[in-house]
Structure 1
Amino acid sequence: MEGMELVSFQIISSVGTAKSMFIEAIYLAKQGKIQEAKQLIKEGDTIFIEGHKAHAKLIQKEATGETIIPQLLLVHAEDQLMSAEGFKTIATEIIDLYQKLFEKNLIDKEND
């Protein structure tokens, strides 16, 4: 595997892992583990950035005149990148909401 396939898989791997971490952070927040959830968001963001960097390199290549021929795998990688970014936004908002609900004692912590 080389070239575009390798970059596409780098993006998919990084942002897929990050997306999973963002989803897991929501579950932690639901259990009342707010600080753990926020930490997982930070860790996921670090991994997400690796995928974003790989994508940015492709954009830079095209900006310098190199032709990038998109294939289905790259389109999938970009879709996963955008999906993960959206999940982070949603997860952050949900974690903040759970934190406020717990602080006001409006819900009880789940035990898992």
Structure 2
Amino acid sequence: MISNVKFNELANKVVVMEGRIAELEVIVRSLSDRDGGNIPAGMTPLTTLAAEFGISTKKGEELAKNSGVLLVKQKSGGYIVPDEKFREAARLVLRSAKRKIGSAYWYHPLLGKFQMSGGLPK
């Protein structure tokens, strides 16, 4: 069982964490307002999706451009893309990429030579 002292310590930590989360939410809102508003529904930052698939942001941009996925440049300099269209294109391209045995690099005609962490997407 947790003693009252430990319970009070945990309760205080929760209060502190709630305050930190509130501060971060304010920062995120101010950044999105400065960037021209919130990201529309169905769109996701390219950096997030590229990281999810284990490729670099630059290769994510190439994948989107070469496979016909809409790229929207934000004022902050990053890109947002339609979530489902990018995922579909990435799965298709990355599954058909080839890798020599023992090599850290993959190859696909649309992307050229690239590295992918995490293996093939499901």
Same fold? TM cut 0.5 = no
* Bigger Cα Rg: 2
What TM-score results when the alignment is normalised by the length of structure 1? 0.31
Higher relative contact order (CA 8 A, sep 6+): 1
**Which has a greater percent of helix?**
1
What TM-score results when the alignment is normalised by the length of structure 2? 0.29
